[in-house]
């Protein structure tokens, strides 16, 4: 789960990391009031869970409360990468920027350890820095039993060529960031940029934080921070039903048990010339009601031209899935062609149940994909003729 900038920065502040004064505004009037309280000048920053806000015009500096109100009016309601801006962060302006740095705590999967990643090339996309000049990125792995140690922050500060007068504060910020990372079960805490102000102080100007979804059950405070406005309603409903669903732009839906098999099913749809419309894992032991919900969700997409069911029964039973498909079809009136491929536990029983329904069947995954792509094409052509 990703947090908004304002949420991330507030958590940073709880761990002693200096952030600009600021408040969240939901209306232009609120933005004006906050700017007044901040002394008349502010930066208005859209709060949406995507990058590239600046380029999209979602971040604007205001030299007066009037301008803050106008900026907020322009930004609120705008769409950035498909997400509507519902709130802005109104932050005080930084007292001059002498240097922009990058600092993050994240997990090194290969080494199986948390690490601090730091760079003097802050303020830009760190992926680009890693790509073009990897020597500018410096890493210190953290042993969880001892945490961040002074020699590590000294190493990073030296490598980044930081002025010695900020080394002490830099150490505190790195310790605070790791602490924030660990306490909140984050998979990423990132400050970009961390600036050295005109007064020679360090300040976290922008923040990003992702929380490990598997830890939300033990982080109730963070679970409450989820912004439901930012999650497509279909994905939210799937999550509540215990299904993993990710909406994509293609024309062929797939419903599969198991994440790996679901990915492989998407891949094979593409291989046969279709485009997957979603990722959907109904999980192990999928019950009929879950299957029905899943089918309703995928059919709510108007671009869908065919549905492919690929169920490999292990814990999941083919007859149970078949019952789910049938009960869903009783509730949903659809003409979208469907291809079913059932294998493994109780597959024959499942196929027998589905024999009555108007569905295509396939013995293998390749055959299923081929049939689904052909059915989608036929449906499209019929659609054109009529």
Partner 1 sequence: MSILVDKNTRLLVQGITGREGTFHTNQMIAFGTNVVGGVVPGKGGQVFEGDKGNLPIFDSVREAREETGANASIIFVPAKFAPDAMYEAADAGLPLVICLTEHIPVLEMINVRSYLDRRATRLIGPNCPGLITPGEAKVGIIPGSIVTPGTVGLVSRSGTLTYEVVYALTQRGIGQSTCVGIGGDPIKGMDFIDVLKLFEEDPDTSEVIMIGEIGGNAEEQAATFIKESMTKRVTSFIAGRSAPPGRRMGHAGAIVEGKSGTAEGKIAALEAAGVRVAANPDQIVDMIV
Q: Which residues of 345-380 are buried (b: 16+ CB within 10 A; e: fewer)?
A: bbbebbbebbeeeebbbbeebeebbbbbbbbbeebe
Q: Measuring CA to CA, which residue among 277, 283, 280 is closest to residue 235?
A: 280
What positions carry a catalytic annotation? 102, 190
Q: How far is the CB of 187 from partner 1 (least distance, A)?
A: 6
Q: Is 201 helix (H, G, I), strand (E, B) or coil?
A: coil
The reply to whether 217 sits near partner 1 by the rule CB under 8 A is yes
Please provide the DSSP assignment of 211-246 as one string.
E-GGGGGG-HHHHTT--GGGS-HHHHHHHHHT-EEE
The reply to whether 256 sits near partner 1 by the rule CB under 8 A is yes
Q: Measuring CA to CA, which residue among 370, 300, 374, 367 is closest to residue 337?
A: 374
Q: How far is the CB of 131 from partner 1 (least distance, A)?
A: 7
The reply to whether 315 sits near partner 1 by the rule CB under 8 A is yes
The reply to whether 365 sits near partner 1 by the rule CB under 8 A is yes
- Stretch in the footprint of partner 1 (CB under 8 A) among 14-22, 69-77, 294-302, 361-369: 361-369
What Å distances lie between residue 193 and 28, 120, 121, 384, CA to CA?
26, 10, 9, 52
Q: How far is the CB of 289 from partner 1 (least distance, A)?
A: 18
Q: Give the one residue of 61, 259, 357, 378 binding partner 1; rule: CB under 8 A.
A: 259
The reply to whether 23 sits near partner 1 by the rule CB under 8 A is no
The reply to whether 313 sits near partner 1 by the rule CB under 8 A is yes
Residue with smaller CB distance to partner 1, 112 or 335: 112
Given a contact cutoff of 8 angstroms between Cβ atoms, the answer to whether 308 and 265 are in contact is yes
Sites for partner 1 among residues 162-201 (CB under 8 A): 182, 185, 187
The reply to whether 312 sits near partner 1 by the rule CB under 8 A is yes
Given a contact cutoff of 8 angstroms between Cβ atoms, the answer to whether 297 and 328 are in contact is no
Q: Measuring CA to CA, which residue among 294, 292, 340, 290 is closest to residue 318?
A: 340
Sites for partner 1 among residues 98-157 (CB under 8 A): 107, 109-110, 112-114, 127, 130-131, 143-145
Q: Give the one residue of 56, 159, 236, 263 binding partner 1; rule: CB under 8 A.
A: 263
Q: Which residues of 302-325 are buried (b: 16+ CB within 10 A; e: fewer)?
A: eebbbbbbbbbbeebbbbbbbbbb
Q: Give the one residue of 201, 345, 349, 360 binding partner 1; rule: CB under 8 A.
A: 345
Residue with smaller CB distance to partner 1, 38 or 347: 347
Given a contact cutoff of 8 angstroms between Cβ atoms, the answer to whether 274 and 308 are in contact is no
The reply to whether 264 sits near partner 1 by the rule CB under 8 A is yes
Q: How far is the CB of 37 from partner 1 (least distance, A)?
A: 36
The reply to whether 244 sits near partner 1 by the rule CB under 8 A is yes
d(CA 174, CA 156): 10
Q: How many CA atoms lie within 13 A of 347 on its CB side?
A: 16
204 - beta bridge partners?
Answer: 194
Q: Give the one residue of 269, 304, 322, 339 binding partner 1; rule: CB under 8 A.
A: 269
Q: Give the one residue of 344, 349, 374, 379 binding partner 1; rule: CB under 8 A.
A: 344
Q: How far is the CB of 117 from partner 1 (least distance, A)?
A: 12
Residue with smaller CB distance to partner 1, 38 or 365: 365
The reply to whether 226 sits near partner 1 by the rule CB under 8 A is no
The reply to whether 246 sits near partner 1 by the rule CB under 8 A is yes
Matching residue, tokens 């102000």 = 197
Residues that bind partner 1 (CB under 8 A): 107, 109-110, 112-114, 127, 130-131, 143-145, 182, 185, 187, 212-215, 217-218, 244, 246, 248, 256-264, 266-271, 276, 279, 281, 284, 312-315, 343-345, 364-366
């Amino acid at each position: 789960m990703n947090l908004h900038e304002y949420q991330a920065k507030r958590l940073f502040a709880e761990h002693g990391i200096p952030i600009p004064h600021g408040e969240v505004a939901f209306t232009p009037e609120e933005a004006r009031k906050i700017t007044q309280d901040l002394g008349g000048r502010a930066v208005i920053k859209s709060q949406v869970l995507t990058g590239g806000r600046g380029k999209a015009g979602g971040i604007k500096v205001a030299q007066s409360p009037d301008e803050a109100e106008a900026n907020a009016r322009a930004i609120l309601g705008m769409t950035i990468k498909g997400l509507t801006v519902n709130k802005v962060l109104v932050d005080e302006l930084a007292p001059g920027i002498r240097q922009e740095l990058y600092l993050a705590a994240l997990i090194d999967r290969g080494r199986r350890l948390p690490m601090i990643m730091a760079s003097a090339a802050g303020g830009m996309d760190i992926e680009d820095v890693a790509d073009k000049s990897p020597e500018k990125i410096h890493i210190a792995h953290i042993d969880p039993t001892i945490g961040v140690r002074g020699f590590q922050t000294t190493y990073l500060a030296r490598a980044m060529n930081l002025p010695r007068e900020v080394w002490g504060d830099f150490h505190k910020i790195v310790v605070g960031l790791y602490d924030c990372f660990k306490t909140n079960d984050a998979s990423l805490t990132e400050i970009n940029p961390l600036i050295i102000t005109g007064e020679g102080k360090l300040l976290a100007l922008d923040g990003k934080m992702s929380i490990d979804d598997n830890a939300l059950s033990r982080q109730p405070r963070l679970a409450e921070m989820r912004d439901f406005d930012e999650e497509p309603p279909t994905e939210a409903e799937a999550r509540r039903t215990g299904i993993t669903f990710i909406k994509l732009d293609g024309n062929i839906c797939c419903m599969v048990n198991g994440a790996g098999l679901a990915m492989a099913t998407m891949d094979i749809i593409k291989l046969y010339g279709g485009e997957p419309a979603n990722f959907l894992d109904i999980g192990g032991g999928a019950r009929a009601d879950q299957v029905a919900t899943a089918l309703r969700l995928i059919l709510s997409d108007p671009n869908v031209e065919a549905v492919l069911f690929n169920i490999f029964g292990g814990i999941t039973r083919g007859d149970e899935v078949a019952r789910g498909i049938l009960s869903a079809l009783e509730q949903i009136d659809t003409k979208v062609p469907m291809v079913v491929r059932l294998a493994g536990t109780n597959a024959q029983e499942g196929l027998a149940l589905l024999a009555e329904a108007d569905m295509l069947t396939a013995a293998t995954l390749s055959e299923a994909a081929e049939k689904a792509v052909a059915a989608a094409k036929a449906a499209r052509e019929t659609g054109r003729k009529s």
